Amino acid sequence: MLTLPIEAAPEVRTQSRVLIIGRSENVLSETVQILRLLGYAAGASNDFADVMDLFDMTAVDLVVFGGMVPPDTKERLRQQISGRNPSVTFVQGFAGIPGVIVAQVRAAGDASAQAGLAVAYDQETRTVDLHLDRAEDVQVVAWWGTSFTPPEPRSTSLVLVDAYLPAGEHTVTLPAEVPSQASFVTVAARDAVRTLIVGPMPAGLTMASLPQPPATP
């Protein structure tokens, strides 16, 4: 079992307090480390049975559930956590990929910070279309799973765009190496972040009900 307390990195201004409940120890540890460096007070646990006793849920702002948390366990924890902290935000993690989870946490922040960026994925053309209300530094990253051997999945990533883009419409084409399963794209423009599912998780590798990418006509 792994439990990491909700802590912030030293000398980093804390944005909010995040708890990740999932299965993979490597994914939990790496995600917490990245979030702390970004200014979050972050912690994690794969002790589903005792997590309510391990953390003060009144001091948590956001809870992320991993895809391998059983649905009945997730629902029970949702109810118990909400009972102690009605203002907590819940996020369903798309995959055991730290960069994707971090992007989902960032996207769940202040709604006003998310304004000005709109994104969509066209499965037929394999393109990410984005609209910027104003010129911004933009980073577009593709992420995908490379190994699904339990209990520790592996993944990789590829930066597609890292540039200052003018306001307006932009199109990013995914290279052939980005597979059609267990793949995702994150788009960040300053504090605005979006996460897209490009290829769904293979059957049996998630217990979560996730949005599906648009079907090809």
What is the number of structural domains in the chain? 2
Residue 163 maps to a domain: yes
At 131-175, the pLDDT tens digits run: 999 999 999 999 999 988 767 889 999 999 999 999 999 999 999
pLDDT of residue 109: 77
Residue 81 maps to a domain: yes
- Phi, psi torsion values for 182, nearest 5 degrees: 50, 45
Regarding whether 87 and 14 lie in a shared domain, the answer is yes
Q: Report the percentage of the chain scoring pLDDT > 90.
A: 79
Contact between residue 24 and residue 152 where contact means Cβ atoms under 8 Å apart: yes
Q: How many CB atoms lie within 10 A of CB 199?
A: 17
Regarding whether 121 and 79 lie in a shared domain, the answer is no
Pairing of strands 136-147, 183-189: antiparallel
pLDDT of residue 149: 75
Q: Does the pLDDT value for residue 216 go beyond 70?
A: no
Residue 75 sits in a domain whose CATH number is 3.40.50.2300
Residue 100 maps to a domain: no
pTM value > 0.85: yes
Residue 169 maps to a domain: yes
Give residue 10's domain range. 3-92
At 167-196, the pLDDT tens digits run: 999 999 999 999 999 999 999 998 899 999
Residue 103 maps to a domain: no
Regarding whether 87 and 20 lie in a shared domain, the answer is yes
Regarding whether 10 and 88 lie in a shared domain, the answer is yes
Residue 208 maps to a domain: no
At 91-129, the pLDDT tens digits run: 999 999 999 999 999 999 777 767 789 999 999 999 999
Residue 101 maps to a domain: no
Regarding whether 86 and 9 lie in a shared domain, the answer is yes
Residue 178 maps to a domain: yes
